[in-house]
Each structure stands twice: as C-alpha cells, then as structure tokens.
Amino acid sequence: MPENLLDTLIELQPEILKATGETLLMLAICLSVALVLGGALGILVFLTSRGQSLERFRGFNLVTNGVINVVRSFPFIILLVAISPFTRVIAGTSIGPLAASVPLSIAATFYFARLIEQTLRDVPRGVIEAAEAMGASPLQIVRHVLLVEARSGLVLAITVLAVSFLSYSAVAGVVGGGGIGDLAIRYGYYRFQTDVMVITIVLLIALVQSVQFAGQWLARRMDKR
C-alpha cells in the first residue's frame, strides 16, 4: 500500500501541483477581496453599533447587519449555483478557479465582516473614548486605536477565515472549480481511488496546520497585553 501510494503520488504529481496552485489562487483572491471589502464593512458595522462613535448611522447598521446574516445563511454550494449568472458576467465563465473565486469572495467578504465586527468588540470602550477626548476623527480611531489594539485578534480572525475558505474552495470543486477538492472528487470519489483521496486529505491537513500555526504565532507576537 505505501509503495502504491508513492506510485500514485509520482504519477499524479503534475495534477497535484496544478490543483494546489489552483487552490492557493482561489484562496489568494477571496482572502484579498474579503480583507479589503469585508474588513471595511466589519469596521463600519462596528462603528455604527450602539455606543460607538458613528452610532447616529443606526439605519446603515441595521441594514448591513441584515444583509450579512442573509448572505451567511446560504449553504455555500447553493450560493455557488445561485449566483452563477453573476459569476459569468464577472469572470466570463462559470467553470474553473477564477469563476469559483467569485462566490468564494462574496461568501468570504460577509463572513469576514462579521468576524471583524466581533473582534473589535474586545477593544475597551474607555480606550476609544480616550481617543475621542483627544479629538480623534472616526478614521483616526480606526487607524490609531482599533487596528492597533485588536491586531492580534484580527490576525486570528484572518486565520479562521483562511482555514474556512480552504475547505469552501474544496466545495467549489463540485462545479468544476478546480483545486485540491476537485482532484479529490474526480479521482478519489468518482474513480474510487482511495489513495488519491488520502493524498488530498493529507495535503489539506498540512495546509490547515501551517496556516493555523503561522496565525497563532503571529498573533502571540503582536499581543503586548
């Protein structure tokens, strides 16, 4: 069996490399989009929540909170299929890693917005108030207080996001999204090649472990409390 596994590994090496590359591409795209758009959205939802500096925009808070909940209610595979016309407009196709990145980015954006909003709640109100008393604008509060004080929590939030969407990207394989999940389905599932299944799972475990380890290491280094 181990020899068998090794043979398969050598035989499928180009496929495995390609799949890993596709997975990393999907992750890179959806994490970048989520970091920028989801991050901004999460910060805005936090700032407009009760007791914070932009509390007066309560309407925005209620609407955005609702939208985040709605998007997060969708099982990912349904979202993937439901928005495929939109995906075709953006990516020009509904197949392949680039196309899969569209629904991944949307799901990741709203997921991350919620993570960020909750992470920022850990910043003590008194510290934000001290900055307000100094005459800080909302943008300065974000830059000089929230992102500084919550930074290790933010790194952990990104870690959770990366791990979750590594497995979401595997789901994208179902609709021909490419990546490690696609490989597992095409060889491991449809062709009953258990050894391929084992290889892909080991690969995914290794990826998750390294992301988690790196995130925790960085978060610990950044926390000076």
Binding site for another protein (CB under 8 A): 124, 126-127, 129-137, 140, 144-145, 148-149, 151-152, 222-225
10 Å CB burial of residue 14 (0-12, 13-18, 19+) is: exposed
Compute the distance between CA of residue 118 and CA of residue 46 in angstroms, rounded to an integer.
Answer: 8
Beta carbon nearer to another protein, 39 or 153: 153
206: Cβ–Cβ under 8 A, 6 or more apart, which residues?
none
| Residue tagged 């929590």 (tokens) | 153
Q: How far is the CB of 143 from another protein (least distance, A)?
A: 10
What is the residue type of 34? Answer: A
Compute the distance between CA of residue 201 and CA of residue 162 in angstroms, rounded to an integer.
Answer: 17
C-alpha 51 chain-centroid distance: 28
Q: How far is the CB of 198 from another protein (least distance, A)?
A: 43
Q: How far is the CB of 119 from another protein (least distance, A)?
A: 13
Q: How far is the CB of 140 from another protein (least distance, A)?
A: 5
Q: How far is the CB of 172 from another protein (least distance, A)?
A: 37
Beta carbon nearer to another protein, 37 or 222: 222
10 Å CB burial of residue 147 (0-12, 13-18, 19+) is: middle
Beta carbon nearer to another protein, 50 or 225: 225
Beta carbon nearer to another protein, 131 or 207: 131
Beta carbon nearer to another protein, 26 or 155: 155
